[in-house]
Amino acid sequence: MGFNIAIDGPAGAGKSTIAKMIAAKLGYIYVDTGAMYRAMALYLLRENAAPEQIDGICQGADITIGYENGEQVVYLNGENVNAYIRTEEVGRMASVSSPNPRVRKKLTQLQQKLAADTDVVMDGRDIGTCVLPDAQVKVYLTADSHERAMRRYKELTAKGESCDLETIEKDIIERDRQDMTREISPLKQAEDAVLIDSSHMTVEEVADAVIALCQSGKQL
């Protein structure tokens, strides 16, 4: 069995950035579950799926993860969709589609298979509570909504995209509400997870804190 690190938390908390850094430092495989859900959302958008159609249409999506030149690549029906899954539109569709039981079951099985025999760092909304309940290290990473919105604003403007900070923060707050109140696998801190608020921490400080937890976990 692999050594598993589960990082959960709300949108924009820095989970992916931290998970990638930890995986690189420890030599683990990074599994971005959010990217997998975004790939599913992209597929549903391309298929013009209405909410009531998601249950059936999602079955046509084949989503896998591979690595090219050391970088994680998400494949949707054989197509590298890394360049298309980080838009705000896809993010909103992901919040709508991710609670669907068929969607969650399909992606959860793939994620569990990846973690069974490999040392992985996995981040998402319900990793420690549902996907990897037996993970050796569980972290709940958060930050206040304004800080998360500012990070997202800087990320988008750096790419040359036009965006509005106030709108981004409103979207984040609404996404939090949806993720925390959904019926299936809502966003919540696992009972045995360590809470880390990154609002006033550097990326390096957060990564070092998680790695310290891993070292403690291996000694138990």
SS (H, E, C) 164-211: CHHHHHHHHHHHHHHHHHCCCCCCCCCCCCEEEECCCCCHHHHHHHHH
Q: How far separated are the first and last CA of the chain, in Å rounded?
A: 16
89 vs 103: CA distance, rounded Å: 18
Token pair in block for residue 53: 């159609």
Whole-number pLDDT of residue 45: 97
CATH number for the domain that contains residue 28: 3.40.50.300
* Closest residue by Cα to residue 9 from 217, 213, 175: 175
Q: How many domains does the chain have?
A: 1
For the segment 142-153, the average pLDDT, to the nearest whole number, is 93
pTM, to two decimals: 0.75
**Is residue 219 pLDDT above 50, yes or no?**
no
- Domain range for 29 is 4-219
pLDDT tens per residue, range 169-193: 999 999 999 989 988 778 899 999 9
pLDDT tens per residue, range 125-138: 889 999 999 999 99
158 vs 160: CA distance, rounded Å: 5
